[in-house]
Amino acid sequence: MDEPRQQLAELYDETPVLVAIYDSFDRLRYANRAFRSIFYVASDEAPSWADLMRRNHAEGRGTVIHAADMEKWLVSAQSRRGKTGFRAFETDLVDGRWLWMTETVQSDGWMLCIASDITAIRAGGRSLRQDRDRAIKASHTDELTGVANRRFVTGRIEELIRGAGDGSGSICVLDLDNFKCINDRFGHGAGDIILQDFAKRIQKQVRRSDCFGRIGGEEFVLVLPRTGMEEAELIVERMLATIRTSRPLQDRAVSYTFSAGIAEVRLGETVAELLGRADHALYSAKVGGRNRIHLYAA
């Protein structure tokens, strides 16, 4: 390590400001002493963000998480985490401290997190700002599944189109097969369980740079920046394989599948045009027998 880098590493370990770097798979690749101390990370370990949150929540330490179902909370948080280039927010710690945290994400999915202890600053407006942050989160979240909603996904598609001149990108529309039959046969409660299972299983396979959300009914969208249709097809094929083995209704051996249509972004088009081409490909997948992927061809 050259001298400037050595000095930087030493300064990071001396500062009370929390500094951490996550890779594109959301695994912790660097954390300074302040971050490791607050979030209980040993110097020789590199946990994923989800594992870190899960572990600290189980031990009653770290970030305050108001959730009866931790796994559902993780699905919801991961559907928005790192999907924009920069965000800033406040977060509480179990020990009473209060952090102002920023997340800066590179185009390849690596994330820089910087946080400062602001417990003693502007405490009077804390509740109001927390209410605001919760309202923003709710406005971007699908209530049933916890993943991103149409509004949030549309914003990511708009960003994809604006960046179309810098490289390829694709979207995929995913639609559960014969979902009305499932609702009719087993009831809407069972249908809700299947939607939640689908969202949870797909979200676990979504890359940091991608965005996955529900846009209505049994229809979901996957936004894949810097990804051509052939690569997108490989990604979604793995998702198909995962869903085929799922049996979410514990008292019934019920399986389900989905169909998918993929379209590549074009410079200057609208969100509706891009979604329309992906929908056209989805229709071809449905007509072709369902439980499969179709790529849009002009």
The DSSP bridge partners found for residue 18 are 115
CB 225 within 8 Å of CB 235: no
C-alpha dist (Å) from residue 93 to 53, 63, 87, 97, 193: 12, 4, 19, 5, 32
Number of H helices, E strands in the chain: 10, 10
Give the count of beta carbons closer than 10 Å to the beta carbon of residue 250: 8
**Cβ-Cβ contacts under 8 Å for 137 (sequence gap 6 or more):** 80
Annotated catalytic residue within 3, 71, 158, 218 = 218
Residue 261, token pair as written in the block: 């249509």
**Cβ-Cβ contacts under 8 Å for 119 (sequence gap 6 or more):** 96, 97, 98
Q: Which conformational region is residue 82 in: left (phi greater than 0), alpha (psi within -120 to 50 degrees), or beta?
A: left
Known catalytic membership, residue 264: no
Catalytic residue list: 218
